[in-house]
Homo-oligomer: A and B are copies of this chain.
Amino acid sequence: MADRARLSLNQMTTANWSAAQAIEGCVRHGIGAIALWRHKIQEAGLNACVQQVRDAGVHVSSVCRGGMFPAATEQERRKSIEDNFRAADEAAALAADSLVLVAGGCAGLSIEDARKMVADGVAALVPYARERGVRIGLEPLHPMYAADRSVLNTIGQALELASHYDLREVGVILDTFHIWWDPQVAALIARAAGRIFGFHVSDWLVPLPDVLLGRGLMGDGVIDNRKLRVMVEEAGYSGPIEVEIFNRALWDADPDTALTQVIERFEKFV
């Protein structure tokens, strides 16, 4: 069983809550860590968020998300990199374990060109993040998001990209929803040892209700979250375990009820 103290609330699980509400929710439910999303940070104001997590004594497991590098024009690519610098500033101010990068989709380009732009974007961001003590977590997304969200689709691909950098600076974020199907998953998690900056859990429902908003609570689908959690631990990762569930029905429910369920399922299935 996973140590309950490692549970972190990825705030997209309670998408209708503001940052302040989600932080208060963590305190109310005895959850020690939170992953904050940038649109929620901006809504609240960065300084207010910094103060709120400090006052609440809640640890920030990650800031979601930088990335989104591929773009059709040089100007857009430059703008995206500037935006990533702001994301790194936010991660630094919040003392987050890492800034999570979602690569971005094809953006009207060939997937090969989009992948090169991701590599270039990471190269531009790393020195800036390094100076601010921010670690970059590359999150491979499920191949069904390759067209529109992330051309980084496997652990192998993320590790290859990370390998160009110091392992204290660039690592990978392993999310069971994105990686569970990979025929090489055990070998790749083992190979990621030393580079695992984050671990996310949820479940894959059958049939999948929606490409984006169809994730399930752990135990409602086919993913063996416990087995993957043990693999990730054996590869040396002992940090926060984020519960990140994009699910319309869960969002429509009372967030406190959702959090109670999250905790139950975490204890039972992670």
Chain A positions near chain B (C-beta within 8 angstroms): 105-106, 110-111, 115, 142-144, 146-148, 153-154, 156-157, 180-183, 204, 206-208, 211, 221-222, 224, 227
In the bound complex, what is the Cα–Cα distance between A85 and B262 (angstroms)? Answer: 46
* Residues in B whose Cβ lies below 8 Å from that of A147: 181, 204, 206, 208, 221-222
Task: State the Cβ distance, A140 to closest chain B Cβ, in Å.
Answer: 10
Q: A144-B144, A222-B111 are in contact. Are A183 and B207 (CB under 8 A)?
A: no
Q: Is the CB of B110 within 8 A of A224?
A: yes
Q: Which of B144, B154, B183, B204 is A183 in contact with, Cβ under 8 Å?
A: B154
In the bound complex, what is the Cα–Cα distance between A213 and B134 (angstroms)? Answer: 43
* Residues in B whose Cβ lies below 8 Å from that of A110: 224, 227
A142, A147, A206 — most chain B CB neighbours (10 Å):
A147
Q: Which of B143, B181, B211, B221 is A207 in contact with, Cβ under 8 Å?
A: B211
* Residues in B whose Cβ lies below 8 Å from that of A148: 206-207
* Residues in B whose Cβ lies below 8 Å from that of A221: 147
Task: State the Cβ distance, A102 to closest chain B Cβ, in Å.
Answer: 15
* Residues in B whose Cβ lies below 8 Å from that of A180: 111, 146
Q: Is the CB of B222 within 8 A of A181?
A: no
* Residues in B whose Cβ lies below 8 Å from that of A222: 106, 111, 147
Closest 10 pairs between A and B when the two form their complex, measured CB to CB: A146-B181, A144-B144, A143-B181, A157-B183, A147-B222, A147-B206, A143-B143, A148-B206, A106-B222, A208-B211
